[in-house]
Amino acid sequence: MSIIEVKELTKKYKDNTAVDKISFSVEKGEIFGFLGPNGAGKTTTISVLTTLLKPTAGLALVNDFDVLKEKDKVRSSIGIIFQDPSLDDKLTARENLRFHAWLYKVPADKMAKRIDEMLKMVGLEDKQKKLIETYSGGMKRRLEIARGLLHYPQVLFLDEPTIGLDPQTRAHIWDYIMKLRQQENITMFMTTHYMDEAEYCDRIAIMDNGKIIALDTPKKLKKMVGGDVIILKTEDNEKAKQEIMEKFQTEVNAKNGELMITKENGEEFIPQLFKQLSVSVASISNRKPTLNDVFLKLTGKEIREEEASTRDKAKKQMKMRGGGH
Amino acid sequence: MMKLMKEIYIIWLREMIRYWRVKTRLVSSLAMPVLWLVLFGSGMKSTLSMGGAGAEFDFLQFLFPGVIGMSILFTSIFSVMSIVLDRQFGFLKEVLVAPVSRSSIALGKILGGSTTAMIQGTVMLFLAPLVGIKLSFGLVFALIPVMFLAAIALTSIGLVVASRMKTTEGFQMIMNFLMMPMFFLSGALFPLNDLPVWMEILAKMNPASYAVDLIRQVAFKFMDAPAFLVDNLSLELFGEKVSILMDLGIVAVFGAVMVSIGVLLFRKSD
C-alpha cells in the first residue's frame, strides 16, 4: 500500500520550472530518498508534499489525502524536519515540544508521557529545561527529530537532516533515525545530497533539473553503472585512452587528468590492462560504484561539483545552529 | 469555534512567554517613552504654559497620556513584526505546517502583540507620580481596556506590514517612514489643532491620532484637567470636537478593518 502518491507533479515559478512532471509513489514503512544536487527540486517537492507550497499542476496524495484540498488532514498525518533550524530558541526544549503537542492536538492525558518518551529517545531528557539558545547544532537536530515524531505522524519528512553538521554528529543523527524507524514503524521521506546517506534508503529517486531521472534501490541503481570503477593516471592520458578504447572496446572518461573506466570484475581486468597498455601507468585504483557514479553516468556531471556552494550554505547554517556537536 | 480559540490561545501564550523571557526588551522599550517624558517634557514645560499662570495644569500632564499612546504605538507594531523574525529564523514554518488555521495564527499574533503593548502602557502608567500626576484606580482601570483596543488597531497595522516582509532588514525603513511619522502626527507631543493645513490633513488621517486622543481624553477625566483645556487640547474633526465615543468608534472600526486585512494578507502570503 502506498502512503505517498505523486502524479505528474509540477511546480513553476515565473520562468523556472522547479519540479517538472514527476510521478512516484512511496510504500508504507519504507525509507524513500531524494538524491540530487542543490536546485534539483528536492526541497520544492517536499514543500508541496507538506502543504507549504501549492503545486502548479499534478496530483499529490499523502496518507490518501490531497495536499491541495485536504491540507489539515495532510498536516496531521506528517512530521517534518526542515533543512533550516525551526525551534524557538527562547523556549526550553520541553516547551518547544509542548507547544508542538498543543498545535497538533495531542490529547492532554497522553502529552506528558509522550514528550518524556521522545526526549528519552533522542537522549535529551537531562537537558529538557535548558533554553534552546544554549543547545549545540546536533542537539537541536535531535530535538527536531523528537518534535517531528511527537504527534504520531504516519510519514516523517526529513529535508537534508544532517546538513551543516560535523561527520560525527551526522553519524549520531543517523543512529537515532534508524532506531526510531524500528520503534515507531514509520515511513520516511528524505532528501539529501550526501551519497553515503542515500545508502540508508530502501529506494532512491535521483533528481536533476526538476526531473526524476532514475528510481530504484541503491543496489540496483549502482548496477546501472555497469561494473567496478577503475581510475588511472598515466604518462600520456590521450594515448592511453585511445589504446584502451581500441583494445577493450570500453568507454573511457577523461577528467581532471584521470581516466575512468567501468568494467565488471575490475580486479581481473587490471592485470590485462597492464599487459596490453604501452603507456606507463602512474597510479590505478579499483572500487565499487557509488551513487555519485550513477549520477555521473546519467547526467554527465557529478553531484559533488555543486558542493562548493553547498558548503558555503552549510557553514552559514553552522553559525545559525551554533556549531557542531 | 472552540478549536479556533484554543489555537489562538496557544499562539498568544508563546508570545507571552517570549515577552517575559526577553526582559531586556521590556526595559529598553520603556526607555524611549521615559526619555521623552522626562527630558523632552520637562524641557518644554518651562517654555509652554498651558493653563495660564497659576493653573495646576502643565505640559507634562498633556504629554503624559501622549507618551503612553506612543509607547503603545511602538510596542504594538514591533511586537507583531516578530512574525518576520519567526519567518527568518524558520520557526514560522513549524507553525505553518501544523494543522492550525492561518487565521488563528494571525489573530494569536495580533492578540499577543496587543497584550504586550497593553502591559507596556500599564507599566508606563505607574510612572505617573514621577511627573506629578496622581495615580488613581479609576485612571488605571479605565485606561487598560482603552489601551488594549488601541493596541489591537495598531498591532494589525504591523501585521499588514509584516505579512509582506521576508527579512528584518526592512525594520529600519518601517521605523523611519511609518512609525516616526505616525508618532509625530499623532498628537502625542503637541495638540493637532491650529496646524498648517497639510499637516492637519495628514494628522487627521492618522489612526494613531484617534488612539492618542482617546487615551488622553479618558486620562483627563481622572486628572482634574480644567474643562476648557480638555476642549482646547482634544481633536477636532470637521469643526466638531471628537468625543470619547467617537474616538472609540473610529479606533474600533479602523481596528476591525485592519485586523481583517491583516488576517487576509497573512493567509495569502503563506
For A197-212, what is each residue's pLDDT tens digit?
888 899 999 999 999 9
Q: Which residue has the cell 529506494?
A: A203
- Mean pLDDT, chain A, rounded, equals 87
Partners of B269 in the β-ladder: none
The percentage of residues in chain B with a pLDDT greater than 90, rounded to a whole number, is 41
- Write the pLDDT tens digit of every residue in A247-275: 888 888 888 888 888 888 888 888 888 88
B132: confidence class by pLDDT, cuts 50, 70, 90 = confident
- Higher-confidence position of B104 and A168: B104
- Write the pLDDT tens digit of every residue in B187-213: 888 888 788 989 989 999 999 999 999
| Nearest-angstrom CA–CA distance, A124 and B46 | 62
Rounded to a whole number, what is the distance in Å from the CA of B234 to chain A's nearest CA? 42
Indicate the range of A21-35, A155-169, A215-229 predicted with least confidence.
Answer: A155-169
DSSP B242: P
| Nearest-angstrom CA–CA distance, A289 and A311 | 24
| pTM summary value | 0.84
What is the predicted ipTM? 0.85
Domains and CATH numbers, chain A: 2-221 (3.40.50.300), 226-288 (3.30.70.1150)
- Say if residue B12's pLDDT is above 90: yes
Nearest to A90 among B18, B96, B100 (CB): B18
List of chain B residues whose C-beta atoms are within 8 Å of the C-beta of residue A76: 99
List of chain B residues whose C-beta atoms are within 8 Å of the C-beta of residue A88: 14, 18, 91
B49: confidence class by pLDDT, cuts 50, 70, 90 = low
- Mean pLDDT, chain B, rounded, equals 87
Task: Give the DSSP per-residue string, A166-189.
Answer: -HHHHHHHHHHHHHHHHHH--EEE
Chain A interface mutation, best of B97, B100, B101, B267, highest count of A Cβ atoms under 10 Å: B97
Indicate the range of A108-117, B50-59, B218-227 predicted with least confidence.
Answer: B50-59
Nearest to B97 among A52, A73, A105 (CB): A52
Q: How many CB atoms lie within 10 A of CB B118?
A: 23
Interface of A with B (CB under 8 A): 50-52, 71-73, 75-76, 78, 80, 82, 84-91, 95, 99-100, 102-105, 131, 147, 320
Cell digits of residue A107: 490529547
Q: What is the mean pLDDT of residues A141-145?
A: 91
Beta carbons of A104 and B98 less than 8 Å apart: yes
Q: How many CB atoms lie within 10 A of CB A39?
A: 16
Q: What is the mean pLDDT of residues A301-321?
A: 55
- Say if residue B185's pLDDT is above 50: yes
Radius of gyration, alpha carbons of chain B: 19
| Closest to A158 in 3D by CA, of A84, A226, A223 | A84
| Closest to A278 in 3D by CA, of A227, A251, A242 | A242
Contact B161, B110 (CB under 8 A): no
- Say if residue A164's pLDDT is above 90: no
Q: Which residue has the cell 508504507?
A: A28
- Say if residue B177's pLDDT is above 50: yes
Q: Counting one residue from A and one from B, how many pairs have CB atoms under 8 Å apart? A: 60
Nearest CA in chain B to A74: B99
Nearest CA in chain A to B89: A86
- Which pLDDT does position B53 carry in this prediction? 47
- Say if residue A312's pLDDT is above 80: no
Q: What is the mean pLDDT of residues A35-53?
A: 90
Rounded to a whole number, what is the distance in Å from the CA of A142 to chain B's nearest CA? 15
If DSSP states are collapsed to H, E and C, what string results for chain B?
CHHHHHHHHHHHHHHHHHHHHCHHHHHHHHHHHHHHHHHHHHHHHCCCCCCCCCCCCCHHHHHHHHHHHHHHHHHHHHHHCHHHHHHHCCHHHHHHCCCCCHHHHHHHHHHHHHHHHHHHHHHHHCCHHHHCCCCCHHHHHHHHHHHHHHHHHHHHHHHHHHCCCCCHHHHHHHHHHHHHHHHHCCCCCCCCCCCCHHHHHHHHHCHHHHHHHHHHHHHHHCCCCCHHHHHHHCCEECCEECCHHHHHHHHHHHHHHHHHHHHHHHHHHC
A323: confidence class by pLDDT, cuts 50, 70, 90 = very low
List of chain B residues whose C-beta atoms are within 8 Å of the C-beta of residue A102: 6, 10
- Say if residue B140's pLDDT is above 50: yes
Indicate the range of A135-144, A171-180, A220-229, B43-52 predicted with least confidence.
Answer: B43-52
